[in-house]
Amino acid sequence: MTTVAEQLNFTRTQLENALASDSLIPLSMLTKICNDAGINREYALLNRNPMLKDASSPQSKHTAKPDQKDPKDAYEEFKARLAAVIDLIPMSNTEIADVLDVSKQSVGRWPQTGQISKDYLRALCEIEGLDYDWVVTGEVNTIAAEETRKRVYASKISEIDAEIARLQELKERLQLKRDYADRVIRTKRDLTNGWGVVPAGSVGTIKYQSPKGSDIFFEPCDCCGMKARISRVSMHDIEFVEEE
């Protein structure tokens, strides 16, 4: 008590009398006590606001979750989910509009703007039995949400797989054409009037014809390739044709 009184610049007796009195203590004394104790003076006087000065109000305690997404990103992801849902429905925009009693233009704008009422979104989900909450939040926290996610993205994954397969096939075809062109260049370089050597592997892939009717005869040789005999024809008269 003596230490507290000294910190408040009061005597022990003054502090004891003030606390024991039924009358209000001086405001200056109350202010000093609250400041030294870290207590809000309004709490001591009126019993309002947090007791401690560093305590936060309920509103200030509300902070964003560490994994909470940026609102713009969440908005773009919602539009993507909405577009995927509309693509999944085996109906045209006109047919969807008829079912929901809206205009065709409205259905087309929904995935572009992300502006759709809860009632229409719920009705849209009900057409294919999709989970409304997953479409809204993207959170997979129920079996229904997981099943909806798989169904919505299954078609997209199939489209991606098909595109990858198409590009792979195109790559292989381009590689075959490149290999063919390389063989043609090497063969033209090696063939001469008379006898020449055709690189191994050319037979069966490339055949040689002359616009002037001269024939090229292939004969086995011991040089890991084929010999080509050209009858009085120059290199410019040789036409390379890829076999079907």
Tens-digit pLDDT profile for residues 88-141:
888 999 999 998 899 999 999 998 888 888 899 999 999 989 999 999 988 888
18 and 82 share a domain? no
Q: Model confidence over 189-209: pLDDT tens digits? A: 555 444 444 444 444 434 444
137 and 94, same domain (yes or no): yes
For residue 44, pLDDT beyond 50? yes
* Same domain, residue pair 77 and 136: yes
Whether residue 82 sits in one domain with residue 43:
no
* pLDDT tens digits along 51-90: 555 544 443 333 334 345 677 788 888 988 999 899 888 8
Question: What is the percentage of the chain residues whose pLDDT exceeds 70?
Answer: 50
Residue 122 is part of a domain; what is its CATH number? Answer: 1.10.260
What integer pLDDT is reported at residue 69 of this predicted model? 63
231, pLDDT greater than 50: no
Q: Indicate if 53 and 97 belong to the same structural domain.
A: no
**186 assigned to some structural domain:** no
Final residue belonging to a domain, choices 150, 168, 200: 150
pLDDT at 203: 45
Q: Span 238-243, mean pLDDT?
A: 46
pTM of the model: 0.40
> Is the model's pLDDT at 151 over the cut of 70?
yes
What is the structure's pLDDT at 187?
Answer: 59
Per-residue confidence (pLDDT) for residue 132, from 0 to 100: 92
User: Does one domain contain both 40 and 95?
Assistant: no
The string of pLDDT tens digits covering residues 161-174 is: 888 888 988 888 88
**Of the candidates 150, 179, 204, which is a domain's last residue?**
150
For every residue of the chain, DSSP letters joined together read -HHHHHHTT--HHHHHHHHH-SSPPPHHHHHHHHHHHTB-HHHHHHS-S-SBTTPPPHHHH----TTPPPHHHHHHHHHHHHHHHHHHSSS-HHHHHHHHT--HHHHHHHHHH----HHHHHHHHHHHT--HHHHHH----SHHHHHHHHHHHHHHHHHHHHHHHHHHHHHHHHHHHHHHHHHHHHHHHH--SEEEEEPTT-TTTEEEE-TT---EEEEE-SSSSEEEEE-S--GGG-EEEE--
The range of the structural domain enclosing residue 21 comes to: 2-60
Q: Are residues 123 and 76 in the same domain?
A: yes
Same domain (yes/no): 47, 108 = no
| Structural domains in the chain (count) | 3
* 178 within some domain: no
Q: Has residue 219 been placed in a domain?
A: yes
